[in-house]
Chain A
């Protein structure tokens, strides 16, 4: 609308004027000629290279690791015309994958969360992976942990190639925590158990930083909520058109998020990138975030370490998921490019020590069992976290950046902002879940 001249007025019959006005139209038409004849998207078959297009959702630290791995991959594979694109994490990324697959000209290979497989309509928006081709490239159930491998199947067919498992952990700023007297001789963070002990610790840290105790991503509160809820054995059972949730435990988890910001121990607003910045610049002494922020913090040069998710309710359970590769549906799937995509995925798995440096626990076991992996710090500090991973219940709307997580953000972020009490936020969250259950599954 904004460019259209208003439709309602008669143009005046202005007498024709100088020649300058014609230039524009003529130029436009000439350029159209150029457009019609040339400038088509480059067909790389001509150059003898195999075209391979990868889409991913890795910004920040993961993005840097992936670029590093891709540089190495490209150096080794000069026969591949490889290009990776990073989309905004979450719904924008998954929407582009789905729409690209619906159009049939999407990526050759894309990243995904294992928890999102169901929402991507395997068989329609996703093309299956040939297990034989993958095994030829060196990846099968003997090199991947069975519990993750099983999650890659849908209706008995393989649709995903697992990359890693990732969890929420707690980072700590060495100088700040040392000053607060919270570190032992080996720079390990003092172990606390229970909400009150944890809040006391945060107050001690705040006394040092003057700003916050812990930095949390207030715009991604679902993961923290899920970890806190599961620490209390809270169950979320999603049925056909009904669900079960433990109100008291949910309220207790929400109370923690609410108090963190209300008591000034955590920011009221902190987006993805700001969250790490708050720890790096010493405004907070702790940070609860995904293990994927390790490279971001390393890049800042700040002295930090990491441990498991805080035992606010007496244990270290944490939320987790797995990244994987999927093949978005293509209208004319090219066997050569498909093979190149499978071999690319296998290469990335075999070289996932780099990925592990980014904090994730690789799915490819030979890497995890390697001595090089033992050397990684602080990865070794939270390796037990893998046992404490809490996945979300399966549903088309659950999972990382799924609708439940997205829409729950609306309710849970108000706890940090202080605009809703836990009771109000719980009512909104339950409304959200109820609404999602009444929605007919689109896949």
Chain B
């Protein structure tokens, strides 16, 4: 599976040749010896043992009834694959993952953009805004979920307590199938948007002053400058952030696991959690491996598609 030779190399600038090709012909000086291999070897050892080997044996497990509890092992053919592919719960978890992605990606791109625009214009507050907007990103996930679970507590939490002060009966947040996913997405955005924000901010601040000055002389107002200069120049960054956020959101597990454990009524169980539930809670290594492979193929396909799309836009 990793014999993939055309890894999706991003084109860094419109005129450049695909970078993989460039990377591999550009050794002008190196002696053709084994020296290079010695340097590569340590990483290769880690790579083979901890990534490639599990990936290969995992594929093997998917054809057995291997249990985490050990015990007699037998080859079961495609039984695990058939069970996975006909399991409505797997599709539910795929749907939940997708729903999370659909909700979180636009939110976390637009929010980051807005926050970066604010920071870029309110420069005298720069350090404070950067601190405030980025700080949540460095929190360990469990810290984030402890805090948000507490704020979301339907009867004792900050949100419903504050709403109650205005006579409003707050929602059940994480405890209702209707609101749990939204609640998780809001908390995730708060926690993770900082990275996108920094990417945007860096891109904005690398736009040369002269461009704005020239526009000002033209009589363009703030909104016009944003609309006509900043946003068009940020198109590539937006594409990059969107791709990264998509890939990240599709792999979601930990904050949802810690906030809802996939509930209520499995309304927020993601694919990774279902793999965990099958392999570790349910001890069924074989079945979980087949699910993991199905998901891996989907993710890789999605990644390649996105990179392709991204690259085409660039060209």
Q: A269 interface residue, CB < 8 Å from B?
A: yes
Instruction: Specify which chain B residues have a CB less than 8 angstroms from the CB of A6 in the assembled complex.
Output: 199, 240, 244
- Smallest CB–CB gap between A254 and chain B, Å? 15
Task: Decide: B282 and A442 in contact? CB cutoff 8 A.
Answer: yes
Q: B195 interface residue, CB < 8 Å from A?
A: yes
Q: A192 interface residue, CB < 8 Å from B?
A: no
Q: A9 interface residue, CB < 8 Å from B?
A: yes
Q: Which of A125, A409, A440 contacts B65 (CB 8 A)?
A: A440
Task: Decide: A443 and B10 in contact? CB cutoff 8 A.
Answer: no
Task: Decide: A2 and B154 in contact? CB cutoff 8 A.
Answer: no
Q: How far is the CA of A124 from the CA of B172 in the complex (A)?
A: 43
Q: Which of A92, A124, A442 has the most CB of B within 10 A?
A: A442
Q: A142 interface residue, CB < 8 Å from B?
A: no
Instruction: Specify which chain B residues have a CB less than 8 angstroms from the CB of A98 in the assembled complex.
Output: 68-69, 280, 283
Task: Decide: B265 and A95 in contact? CB cutoff 8 A.
Answer: no
Q: How far is the CA of A125 from the CA of B27 in the complex (A)?
A: 54
Q: A414 interface residue, CB < 8 Å from B?
A: yes
| A203-246 contact mask (Cβ, 8 Å, vs B): 1 or 0 | 00000000000000001000000000000000000000000000
Q: B78 interface residue, CB < 8 Å from A?
A: no
Task: Decide: A442 and B69 in contact? CB cutoff 8 A.
Answer: yes
Task: Decide: A442 and B10 in contact? CB cutoff 8 A.
Answer: no
Instruction: Specify which chain A residues have a CB less than 8 angstroms from the CB of B83 in the assembled complex.
Output: 438
> A403 and B282 in contact (CB under 8 A), knowing A410-B266, A417-B176?
yes
User: Which B275-299 residues have C-beta < 8 A from chain A?
Assistant: 280-284
A-B contact pairs, 7 of them (CB 8 A): A98-B69, A102-B70, A125-B70, A269-B172, A439-B282, A442-B68, A442-B283
Task: Decide: B69 and A124 in contact? CB cutoff 8 A.
Answer: yes
Output the nearest chain A residue to B172 by Cβ-Cβ distance.
A269
- Smallest CB–CB gap between A396 and chain B, Å? 9
Q: Residues of B within 8 Å of A, CB-based: how many?
A: 38
Task: Decide: B283 and A2 in contact? CB cutoff 8 A.
Answer: no
Q: How far is the CA of A76 from the CA of B172 in the complex (A)?
A: 47
Task: Decide: B69 and A102 in contact? CB cutoff 8 A.
Answer: yes
Q: B71 interface residue, CB < 8 Å from A?
A: yes
Q: How far is the CA of A125 from the CA of B265 in the complex (A)?
A: 29
Output the nearest chain B residue to A441 by Cβ-Cβ distance.
B67
Task: Decide: A413 and B264 in contact? CB cutoff 8 A.
Answer: yes
Q: A21 interface residue, CB < 8 Å from B?
A: no
Q: Which of A403, A410, A439 has the most CB of B within 10 A?
A: A410
Output the nearest chain B residue to A269 by Cβ-Cβ distance.
B175
Q: B247 interface residue, CB < 8 Å from A?
A: yes
- Smallest CB–CB gap between A271 and chain B, Å? 8
Q: B177 interface residue, CB < 8 Å from A?
A: yes
Q: Which of A99, A268, A419 contacts B68 (CB 8 A)?
A: A99
Q: Which of A1, A121, A409 has the most CB of B within 10 A?
A: A1
14 extra A-B contacts, CB within 8 A, seeds A120-B69, A121-B71, A439-B284 = A1-B251, A6-B240, A91-B281, A95-B281, A98-B280, A102-B69, A268-B172, A269-B154, A269-B175, A440-B284, A442-B282, A442-B284, A443-B67, A443-B71
| A112-148 contact mask (Cβ, 8 Å, vs B): 1 or 0 | 0000000011001100000000000000000000000
Instruction: Specify which chain A residues have a CB less than 8 angstroms from the CB of B89 in the assembled complex.
Output: 435
- Smallest CB–CB gap between A146 and chain B, Å? 29
Q: Which of A9, A91, A102, A271 contacts B12 (CB 8 A)?
A: A9
Instruction: Specify which chain A residues have a CB less than 8 angstroms from the CB of B67 in the assembled complex.
Output: 121, 442-443
Q: How far is the CA of A403 from the CA of B282 in the complex (A)?
A: 8
- Smallest CB–CB gap between A338 and chain B, Å? 20
Q: A10 interface residue, CB < 8 Å from B?
A: yes
Instruction: Specify which chain B residues have a CB less than 8 angstroms from the CB of A268 in the assembled complex.
Output: 172
Q: How far is the CA of A411 from the CA of B244 in the complex (A)?
A: 36
Q: Which of A10, A121, A271, A440 has the most CB of B within 10 A?
A: A440
Q: Which of A1, A92, A99, A269 contacts B247 (CB 8 A)?
A: A1
Instruction: Specify which chain B residues have a CB less than 8 angstroms from the CB of A271 in the assembled complex.
Output: 175
Task: Decide: A99 and B69 in contact? CB cutoff 8 A.
Answer: no
Task: Decide: A2 and B248 in contact? CB cutoff 8 A.
Answer: yes
- Smallest CB–CB gap between A359 and chain B, Å? 25
Instruction: Specify which chain A residues have a CB less than 8 angstroms from the CB of B281 in the assembled complex.
Output: 91, 94-95, 403
Q: How far is the CA of A102 from the CA of B240 in the complex (A)?
A: 42
Q: How far is the CA of A125 from the CA of B280 in the complex (A)?
A: 13
Q: Which of A8, A271, A409, A440 has the most CB of B within 10 A?
A: A8
- Smallest CB–CB gap between A121 and chain B, Å? 4
